[in-house]
Amino acid sequence: MPTEITFERFVDADNKLDFNAELTDDKIVSEVMADSDDSDVEKEEESNVLQFHIGNLEYACGAHLREVSALQWDQNERFPQFSGQHALVPDGFGCLMQALAEGLHIRYGHKVTAIEYGSEEGGVRVFTEQSGAQNGKVEEEEGKFSADFALVTVPLAILQRQEISFSPPLPKAKTDALKELGAGVIEKVALKFTRPFWSAEVRSADFFGHVPSSPEQRGLFSVFFDLSPRIQPKKVRCPCI
């Protein structure tokens, strides 16, 4: 179809930029797309299908293409651990966390406030505030933990708001990178039906797409995942906004 050809031209143009450019030559994805040839798309239906492909890419990136780097949007393709087919976790990602946490001593309710590292003695020290209720009053208690290393995996916004102090301060290159980073946002809605009425149209497909009727509706409930084969007898369909 012309829409697939047009979308592939965009991807080829982006790959060409990725191969030849330095970081200073970066563009946003929507600019590269605007420069690509879309002369094959003539009919309204073809245009809407192209909008679906664009919306599906925005869904994968978690952002509008005007906010996505043309050099970095497909960075995961460079790492073999992210290759392969897509998969669904029938019982949710909670079961993975439970398995990973087995045997670990996890402290809940400890808000990390400061991290000290790089001392002559080596190792790191992590300072926390622990909130708790006692005699009807909320009290905070300071804690300190020492270790050889600290793996910091707090949300990006926590680091951007500098809610954790680092001593010595993080290098300027890291703080500059933190300011430029963005977090993808995807909303998922789970719908439960008494029967999978969509089966006649999609047959055994686990997921299917919805072509928007206009560019303004791009990305709104564009992908539907059918979870019913894995959680019988329930019938659940999960669209992504």
The reported pTM is 0.62
Lowest-pLDDT range, 85-94, 151-160, 166-175?
A: 85-94
pLDDT per residue as tens digits for the range 160-169: 999 999 999 9
The CA distance from 158 to 186, in Å, is: 19
Report, as an integer, the average pLDDT of 197-209: 81
- For tokens 């963005």, the residue is 182
Listed residue (128, 168, 169) closest to 146, CA to CA? 128
Q: Do the Cβ atoms of 48 and 214 come closer than 8 Å?
A: yes
20 against 45, higher pLDDT? 45
| pLDDT of 191 above 80 | yes
Q: What is the pLDDT of residues 167-186, one digit of tens each?
A: 999 999 999 989 888 888 88
38-85 pLDDT tens trace: 555 556 777 778 888 888 888 888 888 888 877 776 766 667 777 777
One DSSP character per residue, 165-218 reads EEESPPPHHHHHHHHH-------B--EE-SS-TTHHHHTT-SEEE---SSGGGT
Token digits of residue 8: 């592939």
- Cα–Cα distance measured from residue 54 to residue 30, given in angstroms and rounded to the nearest whole number: 10
Within 13 Å of residue 109, how many CA atoms lie on the same side as its CB?
A: 9
Selected residue with higher pLDDT from 78 and 235: 78
At residue 37 the predicted structure's pLDDT band, cuts being 50, 70 and 90, is low
Express each pLDDT in 100-124 by its tens digit.
999 998 888 889 999 999 887 889 9
pLDDT higher than 70, residue 229: no
